[in-house]
Amino acid sequence: MPKGYHDRVAFVDLSTGRIWYESYGEAFWRRFLGGRALSAYLLLKHVPKGADPLGPENALIIAPGILTGTPISGSGRNTVAAKSPLTGGYGDAEAGGFFGAEMKNAGLDALVVLGQAEEPVYLHVEGGEVALHPASHLWGKDPLEVETLLKAAHGPSIRVAQIGIAGENRVLTANVIHDLAHFAGRGGLGAVMGTKRLKAVSARARKDTRPTYHDPALLSTLARRMAGERMERAAGLVTMGTVGTVKPFNLRGVLPSHNFLDGFLEGAEALDGTSLDALGIRIGRDTCYACAIRCKQVVRIEGTGKYDVRPEYGGPEYEGLGALGSTCGVTDPYAVTKANTLCNQYGLDVIGVGVTIATAMEAVEKGYLDDEGLGLRFGNGDALIAAIEKLARREGRLGELLALGSRRLSEAIGHPELAMQVKGQEVPMHDPRYKRALGVGYAVSPTGADHNHNLHDTAFAKEGKALKELRFYGEDFAPLPPEDLSEAKIRMLWTKTRERGFVNSLVMCDFVPWTPEEWQEAIYATTGWRLSPKEMLEVGERTLQLTRLFNLREGIGPEEDRLPERFFHPFRKGSPEAYLDREAFQEGVRTYWRLAGWEKGSVDPGRLRALGLEEFTQAY
């Protein structure tokens, strides 16, 4: 058995109740590591072409990585993957917290859920085994109550991944809740759990089911290194997390506002972390498994009545403040915090929900959509909250439309131009008119628009840590401004997206500032493998090629590698320099295709063979 692994993947068929386990061997694990690369492989193997994402043929995968559960900062993450009901293609998301580490240390390298149960069920992982339990008593209950009941049944130390009422109702922006306050947010994966009638997965680690490591002392050294250097390496995240970026983005005139029509919003500084602190809304910080950074927000609002929130469900990050706040034109921090907490409690992706509601707000203001008396207009915080309630419960025609996401909502009312989405997934809070290679990354992303496996141009505009680390992979990249879309910038993007695929297979947090050399150290300490920079990028490229194959097989071709028309026009209000040139963008996409071997509308079979993926040369 390879060090750092159990070589044990559990399969559960909910239609029959059958549970079995498969092993793959050391060579396999070295090629795929875990997380995203493993998930892409398993989905191609086990989801038939044309499967209904909300049908029994879809698979739900929970996959820790090789570093998940080790004692180093950033290792408390896992991938959740399935054929996305939001996009119809490959879908995955990561969650932090403690569940992924608990599942890995409970004796599994991954869990694959097939079929569909007749009645609600949950799964419990312990001792390297999976047990199937009835869950009718959990269906319809809030996550806090579900976790309390599961801890009463299996012990107070268990960790839980579950869906809220949005997942039960098959809302296409439903997420998977980890440990109440951490979320596998994108792609509608909570709806996949809901359609399988799988309410939750709980896990309990034991000493005898933890993997053995090649060099535990080196892992301990790395853990102490980050703990000792955290303020120097990650000072901004340690003190403020991501909520301190609202005001700077607004001052630059690039804060997504009014459904991306504007880059500046009067009063948006009220949503910044400094304002949340001054108002007493942000009461502390939380962390994930073994992590010294503590970047997660804890909030509480008491005494307001309608805006009161409890701290158990976590607090808003930048993406939530932007999507539910500025993108909807709402600047009331109490209303936005309440909206964020409702999303967390109901199991909803804050980006998908915020951008979908902003789409509806614009449609209502233009007379394209009946809001059923809700007052759904930009800036109306109470209407925002009411819309989330309707969306989660699929109440009325408006609730049904909102539950479908922005693309289907806008198509249903005959105005697809209003939806800020790529391949069906809503655009995050980083505008491609400002970060232009990131826009190319949105377009070519297998999951639809996503900022977490992408290049953020501003980090590479001057000499610094980001450029130094990208040069680790062998190319002498020079600083380039955010507006640059030259071939040199796209080569940066190609390298960065491969690196992100690798890191998302470890699975490691992007916010913990480890260097590539330290990732190498951590892998060696865990497994004894000395991965070269070339091998690291090959793991990442496997994620890109396999997910591209999956999408091509499902009819999502190169014509979907595009951005909404709105991004090729300047902001109504915002930075006049933020402008995306259409021809430069299209040339950037073509350059990325050439670098990836996708020029002919397919995946180059030679690339697949070079990556050891010969079995997929006829995948579509």
Question: Cα 582 to the chain's mean position, in Å?
Answer: 28
Stated length of the chain: 620
Q: Do the beta carbons of residue 409 and residue 421 sit within 8 Å? A: no
Q: At what angle do helices 516-527 and 216-240 cross, to 10 degrees?
A: 140
Pick from 177-181, 505-509, 510-514, 589-593: least confident: 510-514
DSSP β-bridge partners for residue 426: 421
pLDDT in tens, 488-520: 999 999 999 999 999 999 999 988 999 999 999
Query: What is the average pLDDT score of the chain?
Result: 96
Whether 483 contacts 436, CB under 8 Å: yes
Judged by DSSP in three states, 62 sits in: strand
* Average pLDDT estimate for 343-356: 98
Distance of CA 253 to CAs 246, 263, 268, 382, Å? 11, 5, 11, 26
Taking alpha carbons only, the member of 31, 83, 42 closest to residue 189 is 83
Burial class (CB in 10 A: 0-12, 13-18, 19+), 76: buried
What whole-number percentage of the chain has pLDDT above 90?
94
Confidence at residue 480, expressed as pLDDT on a 0 to 100 scale: 98
SS3 288: coil
Dist. CA 512–CA 72, nearest whole Å: 10
**At 262, is the pLDDT very low, low, confident or very high (cuts 50, 70, 90)?**
very high
How many CB atoms are closer than 10 A to CB 451?
A: 20
Judged against a pLDDT cut of 90, whether residue 533 lies above it is answered with: yes
Q: What is the mean pLDDT of residues 276-297?
A: 92
Residues contacting residue 213 through CB under 8 Å, at least 6 positions apart: 3, 4, 70, 219, 525, 526, 527
Whether 336 and 321 have beta carbons less than 8 Å apart is answered as: yes
pLDDT of the residue at 443: 98
Give the tens place of pLDDT for each residue, 117-152: 999 999 999 999 999 999 999 999 999 999 999 999
Least confident of 124-128, 292-296, 312-316, 384-388: 292-296
227 has a pLDDT exceeding 90: no
Cβ atoms 58, 192 nearer than 8 A: yes
Which residue carries 């108002």 as its tokens? 279
Instruction: Look at residues 190, 197, 202, 171 and name the one whose alpha carbon lies nearest to residue 15.
Output: 197
For the cut 90, the answer to whether the pLDDT of residue 235 exceeds it is no
Signed CA dihedral, 549, 551, 552, 557: sign only: negative
Q: Is the pLDDT of residue 115 over 90?
A: yes
Residue pair 358/409 in contact by the 8 Å Cβ criterion: no
Distance in angstroms (rounded) separating the CA atoms of residues 347 and 342:
8
240 phi, psi to nearest 5 deg: -130, -15
DSSP type of residue 603: -
Average pLDDT rounded to a whole number, residues 150-171? 98
Q: How far apart are CA 193 and CA 12, in angstroms?
A: 13
Q: Which tens digit of pLDDT belongs to each residue from 409-419? A: 999 999 999 99
What per-residue confidence (pLDDT) applies to 422? 98
Element (H, E) at 10: strand 9-13
Instruction: Please choose, from the candidates 501, 494, 491, 599, the residue with its C-alpha nearest in 3D space to the C-alpha of residue 546.
Output: 501
pLDDT at 542 over 80: yes
The C-alpha atoms of residue 342 and residue 397 are separated, in whole angstroms, by 21
pLDDT tens readout for residues 438-475: 999 999 999 999 999 899 999 999 999 999 999 999 99
Structure-token match 């609600």, residue found: 120
pLDDT above 90 (res 1): no
Query: Residue 308: pLDDT above 90?
Result: yes
Answer yes or no: are the C-beta atoms of 99 and 139 closer than 8 Å. Answer: no
Beta carbons of 516 and 470 less than 8 angstroms apart: no
Contact (CB, 8 A) for 593 and 587: no
- Cβ atoms 435, 447 nearer than 8 A: no
Question: Positive or negative, the Cα torsion across 611, 615, 617, 620?
Answer: negative
Confidence check: pLDDT of 596 > 90: yes
Q: What's the pLDDT at 225?
A: 92
Is the pLDDT at 238 greater than 90, yes or no?
no
CA distance 21 to 9: 5
- Cβ atoms of 177 and 183 within 8 Å: the answer is yes
DSSP category for residue 92: E
Residue 70: closest CA among 533, 532, 521, 534: 521
pLDDT, residue 425, reads: 98
Rg (CA), the chain: 22
Neighbours of 17 (CB within 10 A): 11
Q: Evaluate if residue 620 carries a pLDDT over 80.
A: no
Please say whether the beta carbons of 173 and 352 come within 8 A: yes
Distance CA 168, CA 233 (A): 41
